[in-house]
Homo-oligomer: A and B are copies of this chain.
Amino acid sequence: MTQNTPTIRDIEEAHRRISPYIHKTPVLTSTLINEEYGAELYFKCENFQRTGSFKFRGATNALEHLTGEAAGQGVGTHSSGNHAAALALAAKQHHTEAHIVMPRNASAVKQRAVEQYGARITWCEPGLDSREATYREVEKQTGAHFVHPSSDEHVICGQGTATKELLEEIPELDVVIAPVGGGGLTSGMAIAARSMKKGIRILAAEPSMADDAYRSFTQGFLIPVDRPNTIADGLLTSLSPLTFKIISNYLDDIYTTSESAIIQAMRLIWERMKLVAEPSAAVPLAAVLENRFVFKDKKIGIILSGGNVNLDKLPFAPKKQDK
């Protein structure tokens, strides 16, 4: 895990390196939502990214920077989520192995995705202690290079390419906003946007039920998340010293959102935009809709971070008036 603060030059280099592997995802807008809410919302559709989330950008850039002996010994991480699938496919495409430590209670859907990309799974008990202990064992046996899901300069630069593409396509944006969990996506966005467009407002959105980034940002020191409990399962992790430093330096503000606002925003994206987005990806729209007066008449770029959901466990409650 490297700890330097990257620059826009590093993001530009990352973009050159990962372009042969990633999808240049489309930017979509909804006439109906824009008319109803009095703003112009542009969604950078990373749910269409390979492996279903932006994580593939950062994982691919991390693999691109592995050289020599390190590359031969493969990469590894502990994750039950999008980073695991992203690292698995990136490793496969770079002809090396991925070693993924997954908790036994990870969903079968996510397990299948990681297996499908040819990664080696080692099971552990749920909880960070078991994950880290099991991973150390795997690392000792394989020599795999650890790729952190967010606190890694190559990962941050990879994630920043989503914002670079967004601002190249829609340069007139007034605001960019992304969901914040470990802070890799937000850090990459902030570095790219601050350098590419003077005066743009750079925001993050976070569930109130996992508001460590908000509290760290407003209080000025790193406060780890305490028993997070949100439907946005991609945002359960805390900032690291590296991502906290970048976010403190570059971000204008962080908005927190309620669980019901997240579900309502997710429903709007599915119903009106016909896009499958995961709860974490709906958090920025929830923040925009809950603070309408702030965003009125603005051109807002939203990083729609991913679309990996279990279709058998959707949060949409049947409404009584519906037949």
Q: List B contacts of A277 (CB < 8 A).
A: 274
Query: Considering the complex, which residues of chain A in the window 259-281 have a beta carbon less than 8 Å from any beta carbon of chain B?
Result: 267, 270-271, 273-277
| Stretch of A143-151, A173-181, A306-314 lying at the B interface | A306-314
A320 to chain B, nearest CB (A): 10
A26-52 contacts to B (CB < 8 Å): 26, 28, 31, 45, 47-48, 50, 52
With contact pairs A275-B274, A311-B267 given, residues A109 and B322 touching in the complex (Cβ less than 8 Å): yes
CA distance A310 to B317 in the complex (A): 11
Q: Which residues of B contact A31 (CB under 8 A)?
A: 23, 50
In the assembled complex, the Cα of A156 lies from the Cα of B319 at a distance in Å of 36
A108 to B320, CA, bound (A): 10
Let me know if A107 and B50 touch, CB within 8 A: no
- A321 interface contact, C-beta 8 A: yes
The 8 Å CB contact of A323, one of B26, B28, B108, is B108
CB distance from A305 to the nearest CB of B (A): 12
Seen from chain A, the residues whose Cβ lies within 8 Å of a Cβ on chain B are 23, 26, 28, 31, 45, 47-48, 50, 52, 105-109, 267, 270-271, 273-277, 307, 310-314, 316-319, 321-323
Sample of 8 further A-B pairs with CB below 8 A, known A48-B274, A108-B321, A274-B275 = A26-B26, A28-B48, A47-B274, A48-B273, A108-B319, A271-B276, A271-B311, A311-B314
